[in-house]
Structure 1
């Protein structure tokens, strides 16, 4: 029997390395999501050119050309509807969504953040983690809620913070972890292997969504 794949759009603002990880994972015949659109709020985003080269439909919407956030999201929604989008994955999409848009995609939109939420929400996460002296950082995939970097956690990966780390070196190691857990999380939520109890995600017992990733010792 042919697997019915969930039609998924990915939203980016830059080079889209997590987008590429999701696209590569979705090439597998047994992967439950099909990437049907790559959309960006920045027409110059390098990730759009990569997606076009892969034969994936793209949509560029310059958010600065819209008078309001609602107007921008209306055009985005039109683009999502045009390809029959059923699920949305944010991959470095640097725009906060309005509560109306988030509600429309409730439990059908996920995001990846470069920290172990609820710690270090917002920007400059790696610099803040180093400044705080934490020994472990990482990344989190979560369902999107109207508040920034809020929502039920689907998967996390832990990465040690070394005394020798700079913001750049920590970011590079965490990005590797992101490329591992984001495809895993998307697989989980598009294959009915998760359910929610309140704002907590319950995952099938035979799945480990959050591998611990180790780096070389100092």
Structure 2
């Protein structure tokens, strides 16, 4: 297993992207293995998904800390103990702060349900429907201090069928995300490992 990069997934909700990443990592060809779930919502469904997959979790409630710096410092400790080398955000509903960004420079990525820079932030699907656009998509990007502003790594567009509602569009995007994200993570982790060897 040592020839695979250890990654942590950060999630706040249902965790369908988390599951697609874990499923991908079970293939022998995968360049990464998921060793930890970080979750900021004690009631989130993703926690059960992690339990079923046998993946350790660190669940915290931000309200119990005095600052973002404080809970991020604890997260960094947990990541170090688990040997985490790379972070994938999958529906994690918090901006990443300086503590994590400095510790994992160019090693944190996110997936967002739009063709960035269009429709950043919350409810990207709702924003797209409101604008009446004929296509949207999914974007994998590096994470920086901003809201969905980091450099774009990969994108895939999704046509919005006429008369679609939010759930329809969400479902179409998620199908794309579940293919795109694990594949991009695989390529990125492979590059990190090759860089470490050279």
Could you tell me the TM-score, scaled by structure 1's length? 0.85
Question: Could you list the per-position Cα deviations for residues 93-145 of structure 1 after superposition, in whole angstroms to 9, with x for gaps in the alignment?
Answer: 11111134213212111000000001000112112111212111001011111
How many residues of Structure 1 are paired with residues of Structure 2 in the alignment?
194
List structure 1 segments (4+ residues) > 6 angstroms apart after TM superposition.
Answer: none
- Structure (1 or 2) with the greater helix fraction: 2
**What's the offset of the Cα at 1:84?**
0.7
Segments of structure 2 that go 5 or more residues without pairing to the other structure are: 193-198
Bigger RCO (CA 8 Å, 6+ sep): 2
Aligned-residue RMSD, C-alpha: 1.7
Contact 2:138 2:177 in 1 (8 A): yes
Contact 1:97 1:146 in 2 (8 A): yes
Contact 1:5 1:33 in 2 (8 A): yes
Matched with 1:6 is 5
Contact 2:73 2:99 in 1 (8 A): no
Matched with 2:104 is 105
Query: Matched residues in 1 for 2:157 and 2:2: separation?
Result: 32
Could you tell me the TM-score, scaled by structure 2's length? 0.93
Segments of structure 1 that go 5 or more residues without pairing to the other structure are: 194-218
Question: Could you list the per-position Cα deviations for residues 44-89 of structure 1 after superposition, in whole angstroms to 9, with x for gaps in the alignment?
Answer: 2111111112111111111111111111101111111110110000
Query: Matched residues in 2 for 1:71 and 1:52: separation?
Result: 26
Query: Matched residues in 2 for 1:156 and 1:3: separation?
Result: 30
